[in-house]
Structure 1
């Protein structure tokens, strides 16, 4: 049984230490290998490319003074083709200007060094945050999350950064709401992943966190306006509109997406039907957050539901966003052991592990078949991650509805 196999990791400190050492060593090897690969051949190679290549281009365009052009897909395509020296995988740019500002210093480093610095720092931040939350469950979580962390390292994506930020929100929500608000405000770099946490802060009336987050967003927006000009916001909104059409046409790597939209679209539904399916999942995710606040067994459990729900709201969510789910599972585990049977925990572990591993396995298969990045959108493999997270959400709702005791916290967040 999956539950027994995974939970055997927890049977002794020595066994936990071995699993942690082995997993961390493998992650370090992946980081070192990718850094060497980028040092040797650049961020662009063959038909594939690291997502970090786009990050590096944006950092450079900031100093060249034409950042707004990165939000025009036709212009950004030319930049990517020029950097790649030929045809390669292309992506539109839709990140808020605050993320551009975060990337700006990386322009002064060669691509491989910028990749190493960004990935190493965010990996360390995520692992320290996960360790602080997980305690003795750290080894178990590393095993379950290994595929998602590995694919995030491989592409140089920002899922480890957002995972660490959501983790900091959850760690500080109860006793240091202002610090939680700072981390929540910094999540403006990927705002669709912060909706559930924002709703939680409003439901529990943690006004210091809400006001601090709002102040961070407003202050950072003013800085971006001063540095990039007011036109940057018009360019950003235009980029989002273009990307929406890109998503409706199925031109993203949908098999690596973990949203209900991707799962239903790749299953054959038209874009409009898949969108409404996503709206239903987003609504149910927010219902789960509200139920966790009023019926969850503990504030920790409620925050775990918040973290898991974070990746279920937007149609644009990838496997590299799953480190946030790891934060949620770390928060949920103490209560899951008493609320659920071994079979139910096994189902949760299995669904999360499937969502974590599927994109990595499919990417490896496509690389072995020598499928170019440009041809990936025509590879209509199922978006299994989206279905797996639907199962996780359904189970969390079931646990909350079938009789979990009210949380030891009132709606406004004060001790009962």
Structure 2
């Protein structure tokens, strides 16, 4: 059989390999973590870098809030982090909206590594619960913990101390429950506004499927969360956040965040040397195509895991600001495809989507090859194709 046929049918990935390979990847991830933490000293790896350095940004905000200082004052925020980690490289800035401040306030009550451990343990548990919910709903019998441990964005999230587990749990769990528990779904989606760029497609799909109870619950939850943080921290905090948001745009445009870490179409084009204006133009075009596809797939349809999967894959395609650890979102569409039974190209593309986060950053950094926008586009394409076929039938 020719290579092309193997790739089209995914025949190289038989049942036995599907059973063994995730266990091998899970083992490698666990060994990597053991080496990282086992060789660390005072919370720093053998190169002197703070473990979970992104998390320091959240802890700093929590401490600043406890001291009644402005968390959106970039100089004060940086000064606190440098006080804790004098050799901190770069600036893990805090661009989250005020809805996230209450989470940070709780973290600020604990020492760094206690807070880091609690944060990852609780958000990973939420993510694992959402994965199990998808597996139960779709009657997927594979052991979820193996796939969790093997999935590369899990390791990336842990080493960065990021919010990806929480965001994926809220969006993945919320979108799964729209059809069966619409109010709870809306509460989860309303809480997910702490990272709003990944929710751009959600209102479109909810409106066009007539998911009114979920829309109402999401709106009330988002408003209540915003109001609560405004009451606790002062409503001027919104003005401060909006003022800082302009610097977030500048940081992304200038590459201060690092285009190689990012997975968006915009960042991929910048890695290739395309001008900023053209990269933004293409990003806008892709975002419109993705949104139009979600509209078409949702129009007068009942809510389904297929629509939820399409929205979750479309989320990082529709925004210029998405990073490799955010690919934790892809676990849910991959569960859907494993349940649905693979068609031509779907097994190969699913394998690419599962493994690509391991290679995406080094390939972009050192080889100038941004693979994640292409992988996301392929995954979105096969889900859109399934939507087309479902409509035709």
Q: Cα distance, 1:168 vs. partner?
A: 1.3
Distance 1:221 1:389 in 2: 32
Q: Which runs of 5+ in 1 are unaligned?
A: 364-375, 408-416
**Which shifted more, 37-46 or 102-111?**
37-46
The 5-angstrom pairing of residues 207-246 of structure 1 reads 207-246=212-251
Distance 1:360 1:138 in 2: 28
The partner residue of 1:8 within 6, 11, 15 is 15
- 1:382 maps to what in 2? 369
| Pair 1:150-2:193 in alignment | no
The partner residue of 2:63 within 60, 64, 71 is 60
Cα 1:329–1:182, aligned 2, differ >3 Å: closer, same or farther? same
Give the CA RMSD over aligned residues. 3.1
Q: Cα distance, 1:158 vs. partner?
A: 1.0
Cα 1:128–1:389, aligned 2, differ >3 Å: closer, same or farther? same
- 2:108 maps to what in 1? 107
Query: Is the contact between residue 35 and residue 116 of structure 1 (CA under 8 Å) also seen in structure 2?
Result: no
Distance 2:45 2:179 in 1: 42
Cα 1:103–1:144, aligned 2, differ >3 Å: closer, same or farther? closer
Distance 2:175 2:168 in 1: 11
Distance 2:106 2:254 in 1: 34
Query: Is the contact between residue 194 and residue 310 of structure 1 (CA under 8 Å) also seen in structure 2?
Result: yes
What SS class does the counterpart of residue 358 from structure 2 fall into?
helix
The 5-angstrom pairing of residues 91-130 of structure 1 reads 91-130=92-131
What SS class does the counterpart of residue 243 from structure 1 fall into?
helix
Query: Is the contact between residue 54 and residue 162 of structure 2 (CA under 8 Å) also seen in structure 1?
Result: yes
Q: TM-score, normalised by structure 1?
A: 0.81
Query: Is the contact between residue 98 and residue 189 of structure 1 (CA under 8 Å) also seen in structure 2?
Result: yes
**Which shifted more, 113-122 or 132-141?**
132-141
1:128-170 residue CA offsets vs partner (Å, 9 max, x unmatched): 2212213225569828962111111111111111111112112
Q: Which runs of 5+ in 2 are unaligned?
A: 1-5
What SS class does the counterpart of residue 151 from structure 2 fall into?
helix
Query: Is the contact between residue 263 and residue 387 of structure 1 (CA under 8 Å) also seen in structure 2?
Result: no
1:261-318 residue CA offsets vs partner (Å, 9 max, x unmatched): 1001111111111111111221122222223324989822121111111222111101
The 5-angstrom pairing of residues 20-99 of structure 1 reads 40-41=42-43, 46=48, 50-66=53-69, 68=70, 70-99=71-100
Distance 2:146 2:289 in 1: 25
How many residue pairs get aligned? The number is 381
**Which shifted more, 325-334 or 237-246?**
325-334
Q: Cα distance, 1:7 vs. partner?
A: 4.6
Q: Cα distance, 1:22 vs. partner?
A: 6.1
- 2:167 maps to what in 1? 162
The 5-angstrom pairing of residues 265-414 of structure 1 reads 265-294=270-299, 299-337=304-342, 340-341=343-344, 344-359=345-360, 361=362, 381-401=368-388, 403-406=389-392
What SS class does the counterpart of residue 317 from structure 2 fall into?
coil
What SS class does the counterpart of residue 167 from structure 1 fall into?
helix
Q: Cα distance, 1:174 vs. partner?
A: 0.5
Distance 1:153 1:31 in 2: 9
